[in-house]
Amino acid sequence: MADIARRAVLAASLAAAAAPAMASGPARTAFDFTLDALEGGSLPLAEHRGRALLVVNTASFCGFTPQYAALQRLHDRFAPRGFAVIGVPSNDFRQESTEAARIRDFCDTMYGITFPMAGLTRVSGQGAHPFFAWLAARAGGPPRWNFHKYLVARDGRSVRAFPTATEPDSTPMTRAVEAALDGRPLA
């Protein structure tokens, strides 16, 4: 009997903890999520509904940081067709500033970033933002390092992951972006 009571209390605690996140029901698409914006406020992905998205966990002090330049070129090339890069700074791998102003200044000064940037966000582990948990569940797991990329189709449901070493303007990436924009399968 005590075991049943313990399980009931545990279940009630878990349900209460999840209630705020599940208040509007489980997320069905990427467009159901909101990130914090780097400049403050929110970055609702619903504003990008119908676009293909490349969501990238970024870091300013990483050997892969020069990928920012290729991410900006990819964003510029495909934005007119309904595409956006979303940069998501993360210090999960200890290579990012903890100050939003420093991150913004670095991105602007070094790379002229114009694509949307989220605030500092946990992307892996137990404290991962629910959006990154959702992406990981659909595309082979969480980021293993900075500049891990998730390509989200226009429907907001289909997701394909690209590892850190995949250059944003590489042939495999640009072909996948074109497929997403044309409504073809991401695989």
Region for residue 25 given its phi and psi (left: phi exceeds 0; alpha: psi -120 to 50; beta: otherwise): left
| Bridge pairing between strands 83-89 and 52-58 | parallel
**pTM, rounded to two decimals:** 0.85
Structural domains in the chain, sorted by start: 25-182 (3.40.30.10)
Chain centre distance of CA 135 = 7
The per-residue pLDDT for 174 is 97
Chain centre distance of CA 176 = 17
Catalytic residues: 62
User: How many Cβ atoms are within 10 Å of 64's Cβ, its own excluded?
Assistant: 16
Contact 33, 68 (CB under 8 A): no
The per-residue pLDDT for 25 is 62
Query: Mean of the pLDDT values across residues 10-38?
Result: 62
Q: Is the pLDDT of residue 1 over 80?
A: no
Chain centre distance of CA 119 = 11
What pLDDT digit, counting tens, does each position of 128-141 carry? 999 999 999 999 99
